[in-house]
Amino acid sequence: MADDKDQRILELQLELERIKAQGNLQFDAYQTVLTRRYCSAAMSELFSQRSRIGIWRKLWLALAESERALGIDNITIEALEEMRSHLYVTDSDFETARVEEKKRRHDVMAHVHAFGIVAPAAAGIIHYGATSCFVTDNAELVIMRDALDILLNRLAKVIWNLSNFAMQWKEEPTLAYTHLQPAQLITVGKRAAQWVQDLMFDLKAIEQVRSDLRFRGAQGTTGTQTPGFQGDASKCDQLNALLCTKLGFPSCYDISTQTYTRKVDLIIANAVAGLGATAQKICGDIRHLANWKEIEEPFEASQIGSSAMAYKRNPMRSERVYSLARELMSKPANFANTLSDQWAERTLDDSAIRRMDIPDMFLLSEAILLGLDNITDGLVVYPKRIQSRVQEELPFMVTESIIMKLVAKGASRQDAHEEIRVLSHQAGSVVKNEGKPNDLVSRIKGTEFFKPIWDELDGMLDPKLYTGRSVDIVERYCGVGGPVEIKLVPYMKYITETSTAELSV
C-alpha cells in the first residue's frame, strides 16, 4: 500500500510540474495549426501520444491473452490482470519512457519498460514473440481505421447539406459557365448536385479503402510468421485470428515483410487526397459565385471581412478550405516515394516521414470537411442578383431557339445564323464599349428578317425554358429514393445528431 501511495504522490507531482511547465505552451512553443485551430478534439486525440501508446498497451495485452490461450503457460493470470489495469498511459509513464528512451534510443523498448514498471508481474512477458512493428504498424492501422470512420461521417454530413441545398434551389435558373464564359442556363440546384456527385465519388473511394483495411498481426521479423510456437503453423494462424477479433479487423494481410506493405498507405492517401481535389473545386466555384454576388458562404453579423476595407465580405472559409486542400493533394507523392524506397523487407527511412504525413493527412482532411460543413450548412443565395445576371445574357441564350423557329417557318438556317451573328456582335459591342444593357431583343424586333417570330419573342424570354432537364436531374439524384438518399442511410444517425457547435472556426 505504501508503494502505491508513493507512486500516486509521484504522479501528482509530475502532473503539477507538467501543468506549470506547459501552462503557456500554446504561446511559447510551435503547435500545428491543424490541432490548434481547424480540427475536432476527437481527431486530435486519436493521433495523440496518449492514444497511440494506449493502443500499444492494448496490443501487448491482446498478444499476451492470445498466447496464453494457445498454450504459453508462463503468461500468468496475474500478469494479464496487471496489464488490463494499466492500459491508460499516465504522465508518469511517459516520463519513465522518456528517460529510458534517452538511454536506449528505442521508443518501443522504452515503453515496454514503462509498462513493466506499472505491471511488474507482466514485465518479463510484455512484447513476447513480437517485433517493434507489431505495435507500431498495428497501432497505425487501428488509428487510420478509426480516422477513416470520422472522415466518412464528416463527408456524409457535407453531402447531406449540399443535397438539401440542391433540392431547395433546383428550379432557380442561373448562368452556367464553360471556359468561364456564360453558357446555356442551368439551375442553382443543378450546380450543387454536380458538387454532390463528386463528393459521392469520394465517399465511395474512402469507404472502399476502409473496407479493404486489414491487420498486420504477429508476422515475425520479416513476415515469416514464427512468433514462438515451435513451428506449429496452425497456432500462428490461430494467434492472428484471435488478434484480429480482439482489435476489430476481419483478417490480416496475406503477406507482410517486417511491416505491412506501404502500398496500403498510398492507397489510403490517394482516396483521401481525392477529397482535397473535390473540396478545392467546390470552394473555387463558391469564390467565383461570391465575386459575382450570386452565392456567398455564411457571414456573421459582427464578422470583419477586411481590416482595411470595411465593406468587404471576403470568402475566408472557402479560401481556407482551398488552401488546406492544396496541401492535402500533395500527400500521395510522399507515400509513393516511401513505398518505392523500401528496400527488400524494410528500411527505417519510412519512419520519420510517416510520423508526420499520416497524422497530417487525416487532420487536413478533417479540417477540410469541417470547413465544408460550415460553408454548406448556411450557403446564402441572392435570387434577384442571379436573375439580373441571367437577364444580361438571356438574349444571347434564346438565339438558338430563334433560329430553329425561323427554319420551321421556311427560313434558311444559314441566313438566320448570319443575321443573328451580326446583331449579337452589335449588342455585345454596346455592352462592352458603351456600358449599356444588352439590346439584342430590341434589335431583333427592329429587323424585318425576324418578323415571323416577333409575336413569339417575349414568350421565349422565360429563363426556365433554357435550363433543360436540370430540375429532373436534381430530383432523381438528390431526391427521395435517389442515389444520395440511399447512400446516406448508414450515416443518418450521425448526421441528425451532429451539432453545428463542433464545426471549425
Active-site positions? Answer: 179, 306
Nearest 10 degrees: CA dihedral of 489, 491, 494, 500?
A: -100
Q: 500: buried, middle or exposed (CB in 10 Å: 19+, 13-18, 0-12)? A: exposed
Which residue, 374, 372, 172, 378, is CA-closest to 276? Answer: 372
Which residue, 477, 482, 386, is CA-closest to 190? Answer: 477
> How many residues are recorded in the chain?
505
**DSSP-assigned letters across all residues of 8-19:** HHHHHHHHHHHH
Q: List b or e across 456-491, with b for residues whose CB sees 16 or more CB atoms inside 10 angstroms.
A: ebeebeebeebbeebbebbbebbbeebebeebbeeb
Residue 168 corresponds to which cell in the numbers above? 431547395
Question: How far apart are the C-alpha atoms of 319 and 268, rounded to whole Å?
Answer: 25
How many C-beta atoms lie closer than 10 Å to residue 285's C-beta?
17
CB 169 within 8 A of CB 189: yes
The residue assigned the cell 512468433 is 227
Helix (H, G, I), strand (E, B) or coil at 296: strand
CA 286 to chain centre: 18
Which residue, 221, 152, 157, is CA-closest to 365? Answer: 152
Beta carbons within 8 Å of 174's beta carbon, 6+ residues apart: 185, 186, 187, 188, 191, 294, 386, 389, 390
Question: How far apart are the C-alpha atoms of 101 and 103, rounded to whole Å?
Answer: 5
